[in-house]
């Protein structure tokens, strides 16, 4: 028997029957009859009344019908801009930069409005990949809460300054009069030209300095490498070991890391091999969920684990005392490292320079330096320096700072000791904030001089040394804003604005205006593609001049800590060994893939994006282990816990601060660890509609006075039992159910797959034989329709999703939001299972049947309309609003739909979404009343319907009105446009020419889309080359989907028995929740 | 020639015919190309944005056609090569003609052939000027009125006769002392009431259903525009190509309303409306064409006069009233229909070149769209390059045509009736 079990929630794991019973009710919701008064239900409606109503409604309809159609005006351009054709989108290369996060992008501009972000495929490290934050950033441009003009604070609050010049005069004189140093406080600056401007500005004010501060800092890593972070090349690593680094989701450069990591996770069935990924962590992170094997420990033990690994590799340290299982695991990992010398990479999420120094030594012993870790290339994503920040706050408190200019940083919200910062800020004579929005810090400054959004700006970024990615404006600034660089230039006596400075700077560096134009068109300067290598060499490392080169390959580590005290490995080891053992609970602060540190926390798309692990939206919460849940007396295995959104609330106390948070019980957590996401709990001034979502837990971080770095874990005390209240957390995982049907996900181990590469295929062949016993071809044998093979050269759209490289980040979900005008419904509606995502990512835990807390794997399965060729939804629509087309797409005609929801009930994949409310204002002519929808809609829905926000809508896709069903269309607007383009150019359509929004956004190319009838297309090749892993979800119900999946393979040596021949059970559709692997082994005993 | 197989002869003959037709196409093209590409800046006999073109081949370097071709392909590059062109550039204030690299040498030759042979102004022969039968509608309207009046009169007479008949009958009954019950007046007669109710429901129902179906449809919609712009004068009399103003109809989903700079291309020099027929609005009131051009100048912020320069920064855009509206849930792409489908503008917009004031000629209803998709044939002959190569993927249809199973392909056959061709 297999000891494996797939499940989505504890309730499903333990109460299968009841879960199945509940899932019969598609929408899981009582009809609102209790709202109706008894008297209404029992009232007799006299015949006359009936006739009156009838007459009235007829008359009303007649009057409505005789209404004039509104007069629509059309105003042409006065002088049409060059190259602009109304209705034809233009694409401009640019760069998404948020703090240090850099993703080269291509912006789709339609009639002067940026409406979609794609990755720039010319950049060799992302190859067109994006993150959910990148995708959603276009909505920040149209954020109605942006600061619309420069402001100055007076006694009564902020007053508008009529011009920037007025601010310039006031601030310049204040700066000139400053007696103490001027400090420029920014988040990480990756722009070479900005760095030059800053240098010029600092030169003008003697004693002034520039402090870079990141909300979640990488100081430890930077210091361990002597001031710069070397490039981590996961694509060269056959062995990946992560000590608490969530590098696929949030750590350092997640989009680049996800791309390079995934290259070693794609399986070639002719030579089956993949990288091995171990994860040591204290809670279940997204990267941990994608690991082959993971082990948990306390947050304070990260150093000990690193040390133990160093000891096991013979690195001159004694292994600290750790849990026996953990020690055994570390021994095994160390043995693996030894066999993978030069092909391993070890990364660590700790911000302790001592731990990072040890990890650096481990990497050196593993032969990574020079191979997987490229010390010749610097990563500039994070440059924040905790020590410098701490010094600054001390200086501010002591009154030693004359003026503080803040750009991109928000310490009042995200500094661990925000109170001290606030007190210090009050003592600074001149405080200026350049932030785009009235965030917590800006609200406390004297001047708010808003800067452009990146889509309105010129700019540049050097994420890696030698790779420049440019920013160019895609829209005229919406508000009276000015680049902060222009302000600095003005205040340093240079009267050029940043636009001019930028062009002169780069035209000079690249040699000519033409070279700059070419570079801007490509967006990136990459080796040999856009510019000559000589020029490229000249621009290397312009963003970063500090820091000595990283030591060569084979010398032992000697780390210089920037505070002056020099540390070698021995003292680092000693410092780690001296970390006291914690016995109580510990809290670990983590970043969520959608929000990171919360800079985009006003973005409704990101807030409604479910967390990959918990599938919760709109809030943060305390993730606790099952052990802790039992200790708190939380009945997490019952139906009540999963099916009611009310979650118990506990009190957490750390740093003397008390925060109450709802609790989510998650498997795979360290027993004593409580994990809470940062980035939530923003102020109402920052984003009114999203204020009050979650709590700010940055105050739980602590400062390590010895290393002068911030630690994102802390000792915590919790209330002994849940406090006497509950809190509703809007989770989506239990909203859709397969009613216990098996074979939804397929997953196996590498060893099993190698032993029986055809197990999945044989299973499929059996099914085929069942449905078409003579030929095995259902379409030819068992339907009345003409044989589709006759039309095999025409277009048929298909999609393939590789579960092995899907990391669950959600970039596709947000991309789908943008592309298809999918509405945001707000927390209240998500609580009622009314979320509208056309594409969701289902998360399945794979655990030991005996020990559900032992998470063996987590499978992420993007689930969207499968476009079944034998679609159950099509047969049951009474008005034929959904039907098939000749390209294999299941179509949905919204305006024909009358809202019976039969189709959704009959859909085995639960991918159809019903508009319960008027989320887009389509039913009310764009005017959303306060009580629109069923019940009251959240403020955020009104924000999404603001005139400014609506500029983000894709004009090629209609917004749907209340009462209609909607679902994935395979991006029909793109396929149609692709065909039109081909026709206009008088040629056949290429098989890969059209990409669905989700496929294009995917950072790991897990989703492949294209014409399956085109023999040269990637989709055709993917299907042909991965026959062994290919499966269709619940193929046994015979819907003939056009979306196929490739089974997930875990790289472990475990042999799962009974992997094949599970057909009999599948057909019976009973037994275990979701598992094809429970047949007694047959081959094993032979 | 007898030794040649018949197929070759046929081929040669076909080739010869093709060549002849090709030549005549070129000759006709000269005028068309002139109108679409040159006329916005050049007139034959008048210096407008550019110099008058009649007799151009007797001037300066233009005696050599090769120079003309070079010039059209790249005027900026040609200017410094001859003193004549340098002087020409100075004369026009440095304003240089845009280059037309897309025109082939043959096309350029055809333009100048046309210029050479074009009839002198006033001799007529350009543009259809036939009067429009405006009276026809009037007549039919009168006919209906006459028939209506006659019907009503007849109905009244019938009613009177019926009353007279019943009165006479009553009198005769009285006379003969036959006692009959008091006659029920017709408005209380149940038969009449039932009949009336039935007629009311049928007629009322018909109109309710008809207007409900027509909800939001605007066939015949003819709003008054901020400027009385006559398509008849522009597209009809002056034969300006539709795409000259609505260029994006060729490449975009929107046909686009011409931007003011396109109007001003010509109207910088055309300041008055003189030669065309008198314009009338729908009530028969006279419209002063020159005054309407002046309205354009007000929007454009332009004062006409010799050497006047137009500054687009002073202009403001007129608020045209959109006539052809589709519901939001309909996706319509002009390029698909014009460039790909080869559908003439008039197929949907009516005889626009004869409309002084534009109205919506078609119903733009779904049934109307669908009907066209059912009937319109798709040109599949990509082999002789008259059809679109995109359609090469429809192998089955090509086979069916070859084997005679089908004789033509309509839009319907290639998915033109599928919901998500237009609704998404």
Residues of B whose CB is below 8 A from A969: 420, 424
End-to-end CA distance of chain A: 16
Q: Are B252 and B333 members of one domain?
A: yes
- B254 to chain A, minimum CA–CA distance in Å? 6
User: Given an 8 Å threshold on Cβ–Cβ distance, is A983 in contact with B418?
Assistant: no
User: Are B127 and B192 in the same domain?
Assistant: no
- Beta strand A276-281 with A239-243 is parallel
* More confidently predicted of A117 and B130: A117
Kindly list the residues from chain B whose CB atom is less than 8 angstroms away from the CB atom of residue A73. 319-322
What would the pLDDT profile of A402-421 be if each residue is shown by its tens digit?
Answer: 899 999 999 999 999 899 99
pLDDT at B1: 38
pLDDT grade, residue B122 (50/70/90)?
Answer: very low
* Closest chain B residue by Cα to residue A787: B396
**Nearest CA distance, A734 vs chain B (angstrom):** 29
Helix ranges (H only) for A366-476 are 386-397, 411-414, 418-427
* Residue that finishes a domain, picked among B213, B246, B263: B213
- Distance in Å from the first CA to the final CA of chain B: 62
Mean per-residue pLDDT over chain A, rounded: 83
Asked which of B347, B366, B388 is the last residue of a domain, the reply is B347
| Confidence class for position B136, pLDDT limits 50, 70, 90 | very low
Phi, psi torsion values for B140, nearest 5 degrees:
-65, -35
| Cβ–Cβ gap A987/B423 under 8 Å | no
CA distance A705 to chain B (A): 59
Q: Are B138 and B165 in the same domain?
A: yes
Question: Any idea what DSSP says for residue B59?
Answer: S
- A972 with B419: Cβ contact below 8 A: no
> How close does chain A come to B183, measured CA to CA in Å?
33
The number of folded domains in chain B is 4
Is there a domain that residue B359 lies in? no
Tens digit of each residue's pLDDT (9 = 90 or more) over A605-635 = 999 999 999 989 988 999 998 888 888 888 8
- The answer to whether residue B352 sits within a structural domain is no
In a domain, B222, yes or no: no
Q: Is the pLDDT of residue B320 over 90?
A: yes
Which residues in A94-104 are b (16+ Cβ under 10 Å) and which e? bbbbbbbbbbb
* Residue A876 to residue A889: CA distance in whole angstroms: 17
Residues B35 and B109 in one domain: yes
Q: What pairs with residue A649 in β-bridges?
A: A662, A723
Instruction: Tell me the percentage of chain B whose pLDDT exceeds 90.
Output: 16
Q: Is B254 on the interface with A (CB under 8 A)?
A: yes
Give the strand pairing for A840-848 and A4-7: antiparallel
pLDDT tens-digit map of A1017-1033: 999 999 999 988 999 99
- Tell whether B372 is covered by a domain: no
Statement: residue A1060 has pLDDT above 60: no
Q: Strand A730-731 and strand A1007-1011: pairing?
A: unpaired
Q: Hey, are the CB atoms on B415 and A969 less than 8 Å from each other?
A: no
Report the gap between the CA of B187 and the closest CA in chain A (Å). 24
Residue B249 in domain:
yes
* pLDDT at position A1059 over 50: no
Number of neighbouring beta carbons within 10 Å of residue A797: 23
Pick the residue from chain A with its C-alpha nearest to B400. Answer: A790
**Residues of B with CB below 8 A from A921's CB?**
none
Scanning A772-831 for CB atoms below 8 A from B yields 790-795
Please say if the pLDDT value at position A531 is more than 80.
no
Best mean pLDDT range from A509-513, A566-570, A901-905, B404-408 = A901-905
Q: Give pLDDT tens digits for B273-313.
A: 888 888 888 788 888 888 899 999 999 888 887 777 888 88
- Please indicate if any CB of chain B lies within 8 Å of the CB of A271: no
Of A279, A217, A219, nearest in space to A248 by CA: A279
* pLDDT reading at A1057 higher than 60: yes
Interface of B with A in 199-228 (CB under 8 A): 208, 211-212, 215-216, 218, 223
Q: Is A1023 left (phi over 0), alpha (psi -120 to 50) or beta?
A: alpha
- The mean pLDDT value for B30-50 works out to 74
Q: Are residues B207 and B285 in the same domain?
A: no
Same domain, B253 and B307: yes
**Separation CA A1060–CA A1079 (nearest Å):** 8
Contact B420 A889 (CB under 8 A): yes
Q: pLDDT: is A531 or A334 the higher one?
A: A334
- Residue B14's pLDDT band, with cuts at 50, 70 and 90, is very low
Do the Cβ atoms of B424 and A969 come within 8 Å? yes
> CB–CB of B252 and A88 under 8 A?
yes
The minimum CA-CA distance between B42 and chain A, rounded to whole Å, is 21
Rounded to a whole number of angstroms, the distance from the CA of B142 to the nearest CA of chain A is 28
Q: Give B315's contacts in chain A (Cβ within 8 Å).
A: 78-79
Query: Do A75 and B319 count as a contact with CB atoms less than 8 A apart?
Result: yes
Same domain, B194 and B79: no
> Are A958 and B423 inside 8 Å of each other by CB?
yes
pLDDT of A45? 63
As a whole number of angstroms, the distance between CA A939 and CA A942 comes to 5
Closest chain B residue by Cα to residue A974 = B424
- Calculate mean pLDDT across residues B365-378: 90
Tokens 């043959």 belong to residue: B106
Q: Which helix (H) or strand (E) holds A202?
A: helix A192-204
Give the gap in angstroms from C-alpha A987 to the nearest C-alpha of chain B.
Answer: 5
Q: Which residue from A793, A893, A984 is facing B393, i.e. has the nearest CB?
A: A793
Mean predicted confidence (pLDDT) in A564-571 = 60
Interface check for B59 against chain A (CB to CB < 8 A): the answer is: no
Range list of β-strands (E), A628-712:
646-654, 657-665, 673-677, 702-704, 709-711
pLDDT tens column, A625-662: 888 888 888 887 766 666 677 888 999 998 888 999 99
Residue from the list B216, B325, B388 with its beta carbon closest to the beta carbon of A983: B388
From A73, which residue of chain B is nearest by alpha-carbon distance? B321
How many other β-carbons are positioned within 10 Å of the β-carbon of residue A175? 21
Is A63's Cβ below 8 Å from some Cβ in B?
no
Is A167 in contact with A449 (CB distance < 8 Å)?
yes
Q: Which residue in A764, A762, A757 sits closest to A1044, CA to CA? A: A764
What percent of chain A lies above the pLDDT cut of 90? 32
Q: Is B142 on the interface with A (CB under 8 A)?
A: no
Task: Return the exposure string of A870-896: e unless at least 16 CB atoms fall within 10 Å of the residue's CB, then b.
Answer: bbbbbebbeeebbbbbebbbbbbbbbb
Residue scoring higher pLDDT (B344 or A1084) = B344
In this prediction, residue A1054 has a pLDDT band, given cuts at 50, 70 and 90, of confident
- pLDDT at position B140: 45
Q: How far is B253 from chain A (nearest CA, A)?
A: 6
Which domain, by its residues, includes B410?
A: 378-424
In the predicted model, what is the mean pLDDT of residues A927-946? 70
> What local confidence, expressed as pLDDT, does residue B23 receive?
41
Structure tokens at A854: 């032992």
Output A824 or A19, whichever has higher pLDDT.
A824
B200, B341, B423: which to substitute to probe chain A, counting the most A Cβ within 10 Å?
B423
Which pLDDT value is given to residue A518?
Answer: 85
CB–CB of B248 and A74 under 8 A?
no
Query: What was the pLDDT predicted at A41?
Result: 53
Does B247 reside within a domain? yes
Nearest-CB residue to B388 (from A75, A893, A986)? A986
Indicate whether A1071 pLDDT > 70: no
Do B262 and B333 sit in the same domain of this protein?
A: yes
Judge if B331 and B254 occupy the same domain.
yes
Whole-number Å distance between alpha carbons of B278 and B281? 10
In B, which residues are within 8 Å of A794 by CB distance? 393-396
Q: Where is the domain boundary, B131, B154, B171? A: B131
User: Which of B419, B421, B422 should one mutate to test binding to chain A, selecting the residue with the greatest count of A CBs within 10 A?
Assistant: B419
Nearest C-alpha in A relative to B245? A76
**Which tokens hold the place of A552?**
């060569």
User: Do residue B14 and residue B117 come from a single domain?
Assistant: yes
**In Å, what is the CA distance from B13 to each residue of B2, B6, B9, B24, B384?**
14, 10, 6, 17, 17
Which pLDDT value is given to residue A690? 75
If residue A309 lies in a helix (H) or strand (E), which one and from where to where?
helix A302-312
Most confident of A40-49, A94-103, B301-310: A94-103
Residue with tokens 């351009």: A77
Pairwise CB contact (< 8 Å): B208 & A62: yes
Of B211, B339, B393, the CB nearest to A794: B393
Chain B residue numbers with beta carbons less than 8 Å from the beta carbon of A877 are: none
Task: Give dist(CA A353, CA A92) in Å, integer.
Answer: 41
Residues of B in contact with A65 (CB under 8 A): 208, 211-212, 215
What's the pLDDT band for A561 if we cut at 50, 70, 90? very low
Please check whether residue A924 touches B, CB under 8 A.
no
Compute the average pLDDT of residues B62-83.
Answer: 82
Q: Residues near A162 by Cβ (< 8 Å), separated by ≥ 6?
A: none
- B353 belongs to a structural domain: no
Q: Cα distance from A976 to chain B (closest Cα, Å)?
A: 7
Same domain, B126 and B139: no
We report the CATH number of the domain holding residue B90 as 1.10.760.10
ipTM, 2 dp: 0.82
Distance from the Cα of B5 to chain A's closest Cα (Å) equals 35
pLDDT over threshold 60, residue B132: no
pLDDT for res A995: 92
Which chain B positions have a beta carbon within 8 Å of A971's beta carbon? none
3-state secondary structure of A952: helix
Across A321-349, average pLDDT: 89
pLDDT averaged over chain B?
80
Contact B321 A71 (CB under 8 A): yes
Instruction: Considering only the beta carbons, identify the residue of A69, A794, A958 that sits closest to B329.
Output: A958
pLDDT of residue A551: 42
Say if residue B323 is in the same domain as residue B389: no
Asked if residue B218 belongs to a domain, the reply is no
Contact A989/B259, CB-based, under 8 Å?
no
d(CA A317, CA A984): 69
How far CA B182 is from CA of B18, B171, B173, B175, B185, in Å, comes to 89, 13, 12, 15, 9
> Closest by alpha carbon to B392, among A735, A1073, A986?
A986
Model confidence pLDDT, tens digit, residues A251-260: 989 999 999 9
A553 has a chain B CB within 8 A of its CB: no
Residue numbers of B between 306 and 365 with CB closer than 8 Å to A: 312, 315-322, 325, 327-329, 331, 333, 335-336, 339-340
**Residue A1021's pLDDT is what?**
92
pLDDT score at A667: 86
């Amino acid at each position: 028997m297999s000891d494996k079990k797939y499940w989505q929630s504890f309730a499903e794991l333990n109460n299968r029957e009841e879960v199945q019973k509940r899932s019969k009710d598609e929408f899981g919701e009582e009809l609102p009859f209790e709202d109706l008064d008894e008297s209404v239900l029992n009232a007799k409606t006299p015949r006359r009344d009936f006739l009156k109503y009838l007459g009235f409604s007829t008359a009303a309809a007649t009057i409505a019908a005789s209404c004039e159609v509104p007069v629509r005006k059309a105003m042409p351009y006065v002088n049409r801009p060059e190259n602009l054709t109304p209705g034809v989108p233009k694409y401009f290369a640019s760069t998404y930069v948020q703090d240090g996060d850099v993703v080269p992008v291509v912006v789709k501009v339609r009639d002067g409005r940026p409406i979609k972000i794609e990755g720039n495929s010319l950049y060799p490290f992302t190859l067109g990949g994006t993150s959910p934050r990148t995708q959603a950033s276009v909505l920040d441009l149209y954020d109605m809460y942006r600061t619309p003009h420069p402001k100055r604070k007076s006694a009564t609050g902020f007053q508008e300054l009529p011009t920037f010049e007025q601010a310039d005069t006031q601030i310049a004189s204040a700066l000139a009069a400053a007696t103490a140093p001027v400090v420029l406080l920014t988040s990480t600056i990756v722009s070479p030209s900005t760095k030059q401007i800053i240098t010029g500005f600092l030169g003008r004010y003697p004693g002034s300095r520039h402090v870079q501060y990141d909300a979640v800092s990488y100081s430890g890593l930077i210091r361990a490498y002597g001031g710069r972070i070397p490039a981590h090349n996961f694509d060269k690593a056959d062995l990946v070991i992560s000590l608490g680094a969530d590098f696929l989701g949030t750590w350092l450069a997640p989009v680049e890391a996800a791309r390079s990591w995934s290259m070693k996770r794609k399986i070639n069935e002719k030579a089956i091999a993949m990288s091995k990924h171990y994860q040591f962590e204290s809670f279940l992170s997204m990267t941990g969920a994608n690991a082959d094997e993971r082990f948990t420990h306390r947050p304070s033990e990260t150093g000990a684990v690193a040390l133990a690994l160093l000891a096991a590799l013979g690195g001159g340290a004694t292994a600290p005392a750790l849990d026996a299982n953990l020690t055994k695991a570390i021994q095994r990992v160390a043995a693996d490292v030894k066999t993978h010398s030069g092909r391993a990479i070890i990364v660590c999420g700790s911000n302790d320079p001592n731990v990072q120094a040890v990890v650096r030594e481990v990497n050196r012993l593993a032969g990574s330096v020079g191979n997987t870790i490229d010390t010749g290339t610097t990563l500039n994503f994070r440059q924040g320096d905790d020590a410098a920040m701490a010094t600054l706050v001390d200086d501010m408190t002591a009154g030693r700072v004359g003026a503080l200019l803040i750009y991109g940083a928000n310490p009042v919200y995200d500094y661990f000791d925000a109170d001290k910062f606030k007190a210090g800020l009050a003592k600074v004579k001149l405080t200026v904030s350049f932030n785009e929005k009235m965030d917590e810090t800006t609200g406390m400054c004297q001047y708010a001089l808003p800067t452009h959004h990146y889509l309105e700006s010129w700019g540049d970024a050097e994420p890696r040394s030698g790779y420049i990615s440019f920013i160019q404006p895609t829209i005229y600034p919406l508000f009276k804003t000015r680049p902060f660089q222009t302000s600095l230039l003005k205040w340093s006596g240079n009267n050029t604005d940043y636009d001019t400075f930028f062009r002169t700077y780069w035209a000079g560096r690249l040699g000519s205006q033409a070279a700059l134009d070419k570079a801007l068109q490509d967006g990136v300067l990459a080796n040999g593609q856009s510019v000559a290598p000589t020029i490229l060499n000249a621009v290397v490392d312009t963003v970063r001049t500090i820091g000595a080169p990283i030591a060569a390959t084979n010398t032992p580590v000697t780390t210089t800590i920037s505070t002056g005290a020099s540390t070698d490995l021995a003292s680092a080891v000693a410092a780690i060994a001296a970390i006291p053992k914690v016995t109580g609970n510990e809290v670990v602060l983590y970043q969520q893939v959608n929000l990171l540190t919360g800079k985009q926390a006003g973005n409704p798309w990101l807030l409604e994006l479910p967390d990959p692990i918990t599938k919760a939206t709109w809030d943060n919460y305390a993730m606790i282990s099952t052990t802790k849940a039992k200790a708190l007396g939380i009945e997490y295995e019952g139906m009540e816990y999963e099916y009611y959104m009310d979650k118990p609330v506990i009190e957490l106390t750390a740093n003397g601060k008390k925060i109450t948070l709802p609790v989510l019980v998650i498997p795979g957590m360290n027993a004593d660890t409580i994990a809470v996401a940062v980035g939530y709990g923003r102020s109402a001034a920052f984003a009114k509609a999203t204020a009050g979502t979650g709590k700010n837990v940055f105050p739980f971080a602590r400062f390590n006075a010895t290393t002068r770095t911030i630690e994102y874990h802390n000792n915590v005390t919790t209330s002994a039992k849940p406090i006497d209240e509950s809190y509703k957390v809007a989770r989506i995982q239990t909203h859709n159910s397969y009613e216990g049907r098996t074979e939804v996900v397929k997953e196996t181990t590498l060893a099993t797959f190698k032993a029986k590469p055809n197990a999945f295929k044989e299973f499929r062949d059996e099914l085929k034989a069942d449905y078409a016993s003579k030929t095995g071809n259902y379409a030819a044998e068992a339907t009345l329709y003409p044989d589709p093979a006759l039309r095999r050269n025409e277009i048929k759209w298909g999609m393939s999703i590789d579960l092995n490289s899907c990391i669950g980040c959600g970039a596709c979900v947000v991309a789908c939001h943008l592309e298809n005008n999918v509405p945001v419904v707000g927390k209240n509606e998500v609580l009622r299972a009314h979320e509208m995502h056309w594409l969701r990512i289902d998360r399945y835990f794979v655990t030991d049947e005996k020990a559900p807390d032992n998470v063996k794997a987590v499978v992420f399965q993007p689930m969207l309309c499968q476009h079944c060729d034998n679609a159950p939804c099509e047969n049951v629509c009474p008005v034929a609003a959904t039907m098939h087309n000749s390209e294999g797409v299941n179509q949905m005609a919204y305006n024909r739909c009358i809202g019976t929801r039969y189709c959704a009930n009959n859909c085995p994949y639960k991918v159809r979404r019903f508009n319960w409310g008027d989320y887009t204002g389509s039913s009310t002519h764009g005017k959303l009343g306060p009580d629109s929808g069923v019940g009251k809609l959240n403020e955020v829905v009104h924000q999404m319907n603001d005139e400014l926000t609506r500029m983000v809508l894709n004009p090629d896709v209609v917004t749907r009105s209340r009462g209609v069903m909607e679902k994935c269309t395979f991006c029909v607007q793109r396929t149609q446009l692709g065909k039109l383009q081909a026709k206009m150019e008088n040629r056949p359509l290429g098989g890969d020419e059209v990409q669905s929004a989700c496929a294009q956004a995917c950072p790991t190319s897990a989703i492949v889309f294209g014409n399956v009838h085109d023999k040269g297309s990637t989709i055709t090749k993917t299907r042909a080359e991965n026959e062994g892993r290919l499966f269709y979800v619940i193929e046994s119900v015979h819907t003939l989907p056009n979306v196929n999946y490739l089974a997930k393979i875990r790289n472990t040596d475990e042999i799962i028995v009974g992997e094949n021949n599970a057909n009999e059970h599948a057909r019976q559709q009973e037994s275990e929740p979701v598992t094809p692997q429970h047949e007694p082994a047959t081959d094993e005993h032979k | 020639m007898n030794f040649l197989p018949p197929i070759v002869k046929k081929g040669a003959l076909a080739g010869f015919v093709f060549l002849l037709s090709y030549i005549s196409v070129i000759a006709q093209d000269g005028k068309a190309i002139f109108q679409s590409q040159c006329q916005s800046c050049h007139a034959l006999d008048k210096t407008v944005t550019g110099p008058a073109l009649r007799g151009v081949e007797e001037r300066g370097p233009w005696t050599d056609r090769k120079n003309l071709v070079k010039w059209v392909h790249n005027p900026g590059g040609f200017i410094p090569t001859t003193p004549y062109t340098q002087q020409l550039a100075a004369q026009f204030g440095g304003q240089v003609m845009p280059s037309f690299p897309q025109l082939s040498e043959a096309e350029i030759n055809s333009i100048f052939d046309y210029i050479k042979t074009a009839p002198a102004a006033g001799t007529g022969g350009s543009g259809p000027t036939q009067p429009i039968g405006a009276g026809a509608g009037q007549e039919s309207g009168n006919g209906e009125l006459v028939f209506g009046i006659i019907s009503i009169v007849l109905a009244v007479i019938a009613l009177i006769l019926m009353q007279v008949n019943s009165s006479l009958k009553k009198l005769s009954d009285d006379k003969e002392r036959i006692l009959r019950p008091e006659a029920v007046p017709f408005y209380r007669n149940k038969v009449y009431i039932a009949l009336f109710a039935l007629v009311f429901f049928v007629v009322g129902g018909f109109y309710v259903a008809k207007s409900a179906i027509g909800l939001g449809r605007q066939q015949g919609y003819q709003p008054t525009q901020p400027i009385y712009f006559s398509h008849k004068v522009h597209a009809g009399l002056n034969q300006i190509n539709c795409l000259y103003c609505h260029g994006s109809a060729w490449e975009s989903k929107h046909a686009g309303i011409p931007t003011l700079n396109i109007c001003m291309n010509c109207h910088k020099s055309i300041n008055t409306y003189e030669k065309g027929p008198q314009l009338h609005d729908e009530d028969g009131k006279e419209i002063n064409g020159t005054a309407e051009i002046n309205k354009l100048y007000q929007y454009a912020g332009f004062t006409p006069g010799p050497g006047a320069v137009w500054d687009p920064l002073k202009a403001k855009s007129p608020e045209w009233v959109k006539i052809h509206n589709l519901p939001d849930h309909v996706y319509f792409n002009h390029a698909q229909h014009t460039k790909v489908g080869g559908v003439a503008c008039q197929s949907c917009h009516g005889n626009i070149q004869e409309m002084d004031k534009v109205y919506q000629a078609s119903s733009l209803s779904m049934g109307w769209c669908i009907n066209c998709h059912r009937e319109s044939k798709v040109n599949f002959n990509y082999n002789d390059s008259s059809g679109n190569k995109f359609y090469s993927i429809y192998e089955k249809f090509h086979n069916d045509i070859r084997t005679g199973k089908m004789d033509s392909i309509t839009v319907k056959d290639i998915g033109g009736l599928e919901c998500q061709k237009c609704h998404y």
